Each structure stands twice: as C-alpha cells, then as structure tokens.
Chain A
C-alpha cells in the first residue's frame, strides 16, 4: 500500500497547514512541547505515539482548539484560512441521530449557495453534496442520503463526517484514530479511503497508535512521546532505520503474524505435515467430538483431564427486538469446548456475535437455548440463578474498562470486593490479596488507592483483570480487552494474559477479539461470521492455512500490511 517512493518523485507544494514550535500547558502540566509539523497537499502526515502522548492535542491545535484553560505558545497557520476537517474516533457522537444524512449535509451546502437565484439553489446544493460524498469515498451516495446515521456502519459514519468537512471547503483533514476498534477488513478499507482522499490533493494528518495503518498510509512520520516529537522523518526511513530508542521500542512491541510466505518455520512444518482433521473443517458434524484432547497436547501442554472445563452445546442466542415472537438469532454454536490451561480465541468482525457468545457463557445474556456446561454440569442461564462458586468459576472482563468501574470509589476497594462476595474473605484479607494481585499485574498500591478517573485505560484494564482474578476463576472471558489500547499497552496486557496461562492454577482463557495479532496468543481459534462458527482449530493452522473462505479473507486483510514494508 505504499503510494510514494522514498525518493520523492513529485513536488510537494506549499504546506496547507503548519504548526511551529507549539507548546500547550494546562495547569502547570506541559501536554505538548516544541512540536512542529507541516501538512502538505496530497500527503499523509502521521503522528504516532502511545495514548496520552499529546497526539490529539497537537491534532486539535490545527483546528484552533485547545483544552480549557490552556496556555498556548507557538504558531498554527492554515493556508487560505479555510476550515480544517476533523474525523473523530467515534463519528456517531458528532452526527445528529434524529436527522437523515441528506439533511446533515444539505444544511452545510445550502449556506454556500445563498448567492444563487432561489430556484437554482436546491440543485446546486445537491450537486455539492454529491461531490463531497464522492470526495469522501462514498460513491453510493444517493441511497446513503436517505438513511439515518445509526443505519450506517462505523466506517460510513466516518466518511459522512469527512464529507461534512470537505463540504465546508477543508483542504486539511485530521483523522483521529480512524481504525481503533475496527476489524482487519474494515481497517484496510479505511486505509484505502484515506489514501484516496490524499490522492485527491487533500492533506491528511493521521493521529494513530496503530502501526499497521501508519505503515500503510504515512508519507511522513512524527513519533511522539510525552508531548515531544522524539523522531520524525520519511516513513521509509523511520521504519527501516529508527534513530530514537522509543521508536525502536514501538516497532518491537508490534506483534508479528505468522507469515504464510515463510513455510520453513518449524511450527508450520509440523502443522503442514499433519493429516487434516475432518472436524476442523467448517462447522463440526453433529455428535462428532470436535475438540480432541490431542489438539491441546500438541501445543506442548500436557493435559490431565480430557473433560473440558467449559463446553457449549447447541447454543442459539437471540436478540429480542420490538416484536414478541420474532427474535433475531445472534449466535448459533453447536459445539465449542475449552480445556483447562488453554486459551481459545474467538475471532470475527464486529457484529458477528462474538460478544453475545461470551455473554451467554458469563450468564449476562439470558435469551438463549442450548447448554453451557461447566465441568459437565449445566450452568444456569442467568447470573441470578448461579451459585457463588459458579459465579466465581466464570468471570468476564469488559471491553470498556472505564465504564466497568464505579467512578466514585477507589479502584482497590472495588477490586477487593470480589474476594469478599464470592469467596467469603474478610475485608482486610481481601484488600491485602487484591494488593498482591494488582502488584503482580504491575499496579502499585498508591495508584490503585485512587479513583478510576486517575488511572489510564491500560491500567484500568489491568485492574479489571485483577478484579476478575480475585474470584479465582476457572474460566476468564476477555471481551476485546486490548482494542482501543496502544501497541505498547496492548503488548503489556497480552503478556499478563500469557503469564496467567503459564501459571499452574489451570486457568482457561476465552479471548474475544477482532485482531488476529491478539488471537495469535491463543492455542486455538474459533472464527465467527454472522453468528456461525465457520472454522475452529489450532491457532497456527487457522492463521497460516485457513480453510474457510471467510477466515482466508480475514487473514488476507491483516497479512499484507505486515509484509508490505516489513523490516528486514
């Protein structure tokens, strides 16, 4: 996906926007210091860094927006004084849900055709809207205009916001984490769109911690850390010869997919030499034992019992919509098993029913048929009917850690409650145990005595893990717990998870994810598409030699990015 050569073949032209020596200080704390960047037409300038490194503050500075009460020095210049477009991380939040897309866009266009005679205005405005939609890579604009924002996918919403900015005449577009929380296929589409926008002569400023996207798109990269640009330069140069220590660490922390182009890797060799399992292909046959214990042992993990810890049989989960009878089937899982000490990744695009499946297991989604067996004893459907030990055995970690904590109470007391309620520990002992567990996950005591607002997203996710672990669960369900975190933090959480698996308490993990890099941590992978388990098997087999076309499309969407300009 590289569009320009390192040897710059084309004239860059005047910068459309420029930041010189920007320094933003809020309440004595320096957020951004000495930052400079230039947005050139037709180019993608990427700001890379962990969350909290000042990317967004810098990006918003281009729009003339600063945090409340900020002291700002430096210069921000935008050519021709035109507006700067901003595509936020959550585009749904900036689109009025009560109005159709056409109304949202026409409002802007109508103001621009005031000088035309009245009869011609409508047609002219419409033409402008359609042109903006085409510029924003929404070719099927006509049908889209009639929809409401909630009827669009996240990617489409993003492009409608982009179209609004382009309608206003923006020549510079700031894209804030446009791919965070998206699955691999959507991600590659977003990348293509942004590339096309840049190709039309717009200057794109990309704020991202997703190195794949940056790698695919950026012409120029600025690496930020703690409010300073530690390294900047041509994309190629930064990738191949990073000069700063922090850049190297960022690049290193990016997990690499098993690569199909290198068949000489030892694991691949054993995998390929094995006769194919019939059960692994597509959906397992009725009555067949799909998850043979050998599958587990071959991962170098001796198994004591052949009875799975958690087993799903003929599960059909529904979502109740308005009507009484017509409930939509969200998930159909005829057979799924999890063995002690094993990690199962459930992979699929957003909306494929991954989360619903996990919620069924946890007892949070009651509207389902079929059985969930814990040690071959059926688990009650609803949390309310589960006994304490059953509650403790299956724990769930939520995607949005911040929303999963009570903002009014210190993190420590919330974490410790698990031991008190589920294991009957007395409060003092529970707190001591919570402190030990939290420390093991890298959270010092003085940090966890604070309220959730003072912890970062990654720290809160660790605390959420600790909260679930205090129940001493047999099965831990992790729902997208690394999406929305930057690479370094994500790596840290994944390391914690693998360390948990290696511990000798026989904990099993279910990892719900859309990210194949994350899934690579697991022993087995189940691929979910549109509520159906289309394929399951050992991780390496699935990632390197997918049999189902959907799995193939997932891995294909993720893999080329890793290889395009891969180091070495």
Chain B
C-alpha cells in the first residue's frame, strides 16, 4: 500500500514555468516604457495620415506621425501613472486599514472607515469624469484621482485581513512587551497579511492600469495628441481598417502589461504559499 503524490520537482518546475511566462509577457511593455524614450530619437517630418510603409515600421498615425516612435514614447505615462496611483493607494490604505483593525475604540474605527464607505458608493469612472470636468488634471492629478478611487476598497481589504491577524494572541503579547504601534502594525500584523495584500495588489494594479488607460482614452489627464498608448488607441480608431498597427500595437502592449502583472503576482504568491501538512487533519469521513 503506497500513496503517490506529485513529486516536488514537478511542482517546482511548473511554478518556475509560470514565473518565467509572467516575466516574459511583462518585460516587453515595461522595457518599452522605461527605455523607449531613450531610443526614440528625433521626430521626423510629418507624413500623410494612416499610411503603411514609406520608411515607417508601423506606418503613420492620424496626424501623420511615426507610430513606432509614438509607441516608444507612449508607455512611460501609462506605466508611471498606474504604478504611482497603485503605490499611493496602498500608502494611504495600509495605515488607515491597520489603525482601524488594531484599535479598540469603536468610534475611531467608524471615523476611519465610514467616509471611505461613502466614497466606495460612487462609481469610480463617474467620479473621475466629474472631477475632470471641474478641474483639468494633469498626469499627477490623474494618478491622485485613481489612487483616491482605489483607497476605499484597499483600506477595507486591509482592515478585514488585519482584524483577523490582530485578534491573535501575538498582538497582545507585543502590547505586553510595550512594543511600538508602528512595529506591531507593520512588523507583525502587516507582515502576516502580506499574502492577502499580494493577491490584492495583483488584481488592483490591473484595475488601476485599466482605469488610467480608460481615463486617458476619454481624454482625462492627457493632451488629445499626447504620446500615450491609451490615447493612441482612441485617436487612431478612425483608421483602424486602413492602418491597424496604430491601434493594435498599443492595445496589445496594455493587455500584455495587465496580463503579465497578474501572472507574475500569481506565480510569486504560489512560490511563497505555505504547505501545511496539518491541513489534512480533521476530516471525518475516510475510506479505509
């Protein structure tokens, strides 16, 4: 009587494979976004709109600019705004969520969380469009807006995950040790919910990217003729059937960015997943 289970090597191989795939997919848009402007070179003379060939790799766009050069330039704003907004959202959400989870004062928890609940009720795109119609935000303004939209659910998630971690005796033990709030909150509770946060960050970054791209597509936070992947998709739509590359390439790059992010986080989480031998215990029905 021998029980067989998948060998460790096979699982490790599968994990490495997924990791490599994630890296490969995300590397293309990231490298383009980071290094693109360096290799872009001087802008050439404008050509006819929506043409193919004629010295232009990917043809020309709606005002006759070289699409390849636009692609090289257009990644940086998307990636930077999305990353900035994502990081900013967590910078606010983490302390708020942890404070709400760790406090014993009910009023403080209400004070921290209720205003966010109001914010959560407003559809995010509506909020962005509303603010954009009153002010005209730049790239930084857009990042702030997207971050603001993401703070409520991130804070709620942090609070929910941290409440469970904060109820463990270890937090009381730390308080008995006279440990400082920051070390208890971030060193112990924050560390304990890292896996949940990682899973959330993977989907949230995708959502943020989507939001940034959508806002740019709608003309919020960017010039109408800016070199931006999302703007390119919007402006070059009219010539989709004449010169598809001006739409397809930036669109594919955005898709690669979101898919890659997700895959990468998935693989990273699986790699750190604790394998609990004790989890098998405690079932009641068995076959002999």
Residues of A within 8 A of B (CB): 17, 26, 56, 60, 62-78, 81-86, 88, 90, 93-94, 161, 164-165, 168, 362, 364, 366, 383-384, 388, 391-392, 395-396, 398-400, 403-408, 417-418, 421-422, 464, 467-468, 471
Contacts and interface: CB of A to CB of B under 8 A. Distances in A.
Q: Is the interface of A mostly helix, strand, loop or mixed?
A: mixed
Interface string B159-202: 00000000011101111111110000001100110000000000
Most buried by B among A65, A75, A82, A395: A65
A63 B282 contact: no
Given A400-B169, A418-B177, A422-B177, A94 B5 contact: no
Contacts of B283: 65, 86, 94
Interface string B1-42: 111010010000000000000000000000000000000000
A67 B284 contact: no
A406 B8 CA distance: 28
5 contacts: A17-B288, A69-B8, A88-B281, A400-B169, A406-B188
Nearest to B277: A67
Interface of B: 1-3, 5, 8, 104, 168-170, 172-180, 187-188, 191-192, 275, 277, 280-288
Contacts of B172: 364, 396, 398, 404
A85 B281 contact: no
A381 B284 CA distance: 44
Contacts of A388: 178
A65 B286 CA distance: 8
Contacts of A75: 1
Contacts of B168: 403-404
A72 B170 contact: no
A67 B1 contact: no
A388 B170 CA distance: 19
A66 B5 CA distance: 11
A14 to B, nearest CB: 15
Most buried by A among B3, B284, B285: B284
Given A73-B2, A408-B191, A90 B177 contact: no
A83 B192 CA distance: 39
Given A68-B277, A88-B281, A82 B288 contact: yes
B9 to A, nearest CB: 12
Contacts of B104: 366
A93 B281 CA distance: 10
Contacts of B286: 63-65, 83-84, 86
Contacts of B1: 72-76
Contacts of A395: 176
Contacts of B3: 66, 70, 72
A398 B172 CA distance: 9
Contacts of B287: 63-64, 83
Nearest to A367: B104
Contacts of A65: 280, 283, 286
Contacts of B282: 88, 90, 93-94
B231 to A, nearest CB: 44
A176 to B, nearest CB: 8
Contacts of B169: 398-400, 403-404
A421 B178 contact: yes
A134 B206 CA distance: 57
A416 to B, nearest CB: 10
A67 B288 CA distance: 15
Contacts of A165: 284-285
Nearest to B191: A408
**The 10 nearest A-B residue pairs measured at CB:** A63-B286, A78-B288, A421-B178, A404-B169, A398-B169, A88-B282, A404-B173, A403-B169, A69-B5, A422-B178
B170 A404 contact: yes
Contacts of B275: 68
Given A64-B288, A75-B1, A383-B175, 19 more contacts: A64-B286, A64-B287, A68-B275, A77-B288, A83-B285, A83-B288, A85-B284, A86-B284, A88-B282, A94-B284, A164-B284, A165-B284, A168-B285, A364-B175, A391-B176, A400-B169, A405-B170, A406-B192, A408-B191
Contacts of A63: 286-288
A74 B8 CA distance: 24
Contacts of A383: 175-176
Contacts of A68: 5, 275, 277, 280
A317 to B, nearest CB: 15
Most buried by B among A165, A395, A403, A471: A403
Contacts of B174: 406
A56 B282 CA distance: 11
